[in-house]
Amino acid sequence: MSLRRPLRAIIILVLTVPFLSGCVFRRHHDDAGAVNPGDQPDKILYEKAMHEIDKGRYDVGRLTLQTLINTYPDSEFLSKSKLAIADSYYSEGGVSGLTQAEAEFRDFITFFPTSPEAPDAQYKAGMCHYRLMAKADRDRTEAKLAEAEFKEFLLKYPDSQTMPRVKRRLRETQEVLAQGDFKIARFYYSKGAMRAAQSRFQEITDRYPDFSRVDNALWYVGQSLERLRKANDAAPYYARIITDHPLSPLVEDAKERLTALHQPIPRPTRAMLARAQADAARRPGKDLFQKMGGFLSGGPDTSATRRGPVRLGGPKPSEVEVAKAPEPTPGASSIVVQPVGEDSLKAGTPIGSAASGASESGGASTAGQESGDGQKPAAGSDAQTSEPAPPAKKKAKRSLFKRIIKPF
């Protein structure tokens, strides 16, 4: 009997400890949402809403924050409430959650553009599209929207501490877009559509110069131009493979093509060589399981993204051709088309107006000089030129009338 009582006490103690600890922890968590009696009602609502969001009850927290916004429009927690609603959608994730989060972040930037949290809201607006990106051969709408948001961040907040993360995400987004364009261009090349392939590959080299396979794009541009019988235009692209990508396996082929085209072979600079070595050292190697995982994954592959400066500018806008009226020529009128830049279009002055005015004044002066230097025509000649000869039909009618009237 003496041994059974301590054993029962130990068993009871072991069974009651989990319940006691649960009550203690539950009371501790409940105390986290407690408020002080002297707090303002808007602060109470904000703290309760944040407590609910931290617990994962996003709907309850957003409803409380919306109540705060509608009830206290002048509250100091107004901007924090708007941002907290957007963050709750962002943390919830999913297609609907990220779509709603992007709209809420845009609203926050619109209503509070000078807020210290505005850069973070702009970054997360781009991340909403980034997290929704598909593979390179799928729909590219989200990738293009993410690129636009990240570029807008770089232009609006150049001194933000989030700049390194934004640049990295922008490079990864452009890598995905370039992969899609590269697959389309290579399809055209395989089908023999050289003009379409050349334009696609050239667009990649202009818009995404930091693409991981831009050396292949340069090679395909040169090959397409040679097949289009534009060998002289292909030489600069072969030269760029040697100077910008000195460690590329296509360097030897590019040198052979330059030699065949009787073009000089350039040399890469030390800076470009150092960058190529750094990119080669950071390039990850994939085993069989990683390749299978990437094939089965629904997200894009950004592991081959190069490191370096981010370039915001795309291809230069093409010149606009407008019609220009030439100098007036006697007995003929024609219109000449010449390329004009965008600055002249924005100026608002008609093209060729000065030239046409000068030509008209010059023509009038020369006509006056000719009339002044030459002799004056006779008066009879003026009368003859001023009175036109009567038509032949009228003269025939008059002679017939005289013949009928003459016997009477």
* pLDDT value of position 40: 85
Answer for the pair 300, 204: CB distance below 8 angstroms, yes or no. no
Give dist(CA 64, CA 53) in Å, integer. 10
Give the whole-angstrom CA distance, residue 90 versus residue 34: 26
The CA distance from 268 to 240, in Å, is 9
- Predicted local confidence at residue 371, as pLDDT: 44
| pLDDT on residue 52 | 94
Residues 6+ apart with CB under 8 A from 231: 225, 261
Q: Report all structural domains of the chain as residue ranges with CATH numbers, in order of start.
A: 40-118 (1.25.40.10)
CB 146 within 8 A of CB 129: yes
pLDDT per residue rounded down to tens, the chain (408 residues)? 455 565 566 666 556 555 544 444 444 444 445 556 556 888 999 999 999 999 999 999 999 999 999 999 999 999 999 999 999 999 999 999 999 999 999 999 999 999 999 999 999 999 999 999 988 888 999 999 999 999 999 999 999 999 999 999 999 999 999 999 999 999 999 999 999 999 999 999 999 988 999 999 999 999 999 999 999 999 999 999 999 999 999 999 999 999 999 999 999 999 888 888 888 887 766 656 555 655 566 678 888 888 777 776 554 443 333 334 445 555 544 454 455 555 555 555 555 544 444 444 444 444 444 444 444 444 444 434 444 454 554 454 555 555 665 555
Residue 280: partners with Cβ closer than 8 Å, 6 or more residues away: 247
Supply the pLDDT for residue 346: 54
Residue 15's alpha-carbon distances to 2, 27, 285, 395, in angstroms, are 21, 20, 54, 139
